[in-house]
Amino acid sequence: MITVLETIYSTAKLQMKEAVTRPTFRFCLLIQPIIYSLITYKMFINSGHDNFVAYTVLGTGILTLWSCICFSSAGDIERERYMGTLQVIYNTPTNFKVIILGKILGNTMLGLLPFFISFAFVRLFLGGDMYIKDPMAFGISMIITIASFMGISMLFAAVFTLSRSSRILMNCIEYPVFILCGILFPIEILPKWTIPLSYILSPTWAVKLLRLSVEGLEGNDIFCKYFGILTTITIIYFILSNILFKIIDNKTRIKATLGVV
């Protein structure tokens, strides 16, 4: 167990160092939250929300976290393949899934930075202020949000490894998730037929949970309900990714495609 944790820790550390050297990731991490904050702040300033800054900061943070997943976690296996290191990673005595989990942890930790960048930008340059009515609930929501984003990253990493069109998919899943998960507007404004799609995506529930804790809980029932749904979906994602990684393992051994670009 200690070895596994050590592997996750050192992989996450290496991944964080490696990720920031990539210009696109640096853009997602540092520039995107500032520009998205400006756009959403200016769009929401006359919306009538009394805590619209929280909407802006949370929305921008999650948008950017998702972009980090799209352009890093989801494409990490493909990237290793292009660098010629995938076979080496795959053949180390440590389980491949543990290494991928470490990479995803590193990306997700870095992906939290935009929340602070967005808040600092809105506070210092736009003079906006926000409040979190229930900090305890917010903290709990944030922890489960991180876990759920790691779960969905694992799933996408596996799906993209199986797909031959991973680079196209990577570029095309950003905006659909922004829309379907209601990151900056409630999903209720979307057509009814899209709602089931929203419900199977964990960011939808993560956003609902975070917003609820920012606005303040009137009772614990809804919070517990959202928390339960998000936890269940996250567990399902991890189970599905585990199955997919087994399929990948099987396929790569039969087809010997680990080094095929």
Partner 1 sequence: MSFEGIERFFVQSWLSFKALFGWIEPKTYFFVKVLNPIFQLLFFCLLAKYSFKTNDLTPWVIGNSFLLCIYNSIFGIGHVFVMDRYAGTLKMIIAAPFNKFLTFFQRGFVHIIDSLSTVAIGLIIGSIVFNVSFSNISIPIFIIIALVAMFSVAGLGLLLGSFGLVTSSMNFIANIVSMILIALTGANFPIETLPNSIRIISYCLPITRSIKAANLLMNGGSTQVIYSLIVKEIFVGIVYIALGYMFIIITEHIAKRKATLELY
Interface with partner 1 (CB under 8 A): 23-24, 26-27, 31-32, 35-36, 38-40, 42-48, 165, 168-169, 171-172, 174-176, 178-179, 184-186, 189-190
Q: Which is nearer to partner 1, 49 or 253 (CB)?
A: 49
CB 66 → partner 1: shortest distance, Å?
12
CB 176 → partner 1: shortest distance, Å?
5
* Placement of tokens 């948008």 in the chain: 63
Query: Residue 176 is which amino acid?
Result: P
Nearest to 38 by CA among 150, 120, 152: 120
Q: Which is nearer to partner 1, 10 or 171 (CB)?
A: 171
CB 24 → partner 1: shortest distance, Å?
5
Task: Please give the DSSP secondary-structure letter assigned to residue 96.
Answer: H
Handedness of CA 253, 239, 166, 18 (dihedral sign): negative
Q: Which is nearer to partner 1, 169 or 236 (CB)?
A: 169
Q: Which is nearer to partner 1, 44 or 96 (CB)?
A: 44
Q: Which is nearer to partner 1, 77 or 181 (CB)?
A: 181
CA separation, residue 235 to residues 98, 120, 150, 178, 230 (Å)? 16, 34, 11, 22, 9
CB 175 → partner 1: shortest distance, Å?
4
Nearest to 166 by CA among 250, 80, 74: 74
CA separation, residue 5 to residues 20, 106, 112, 165 (Å)? 23, 13, 21, 33
CB 39 → partner 1: shortest distance, Å?
5
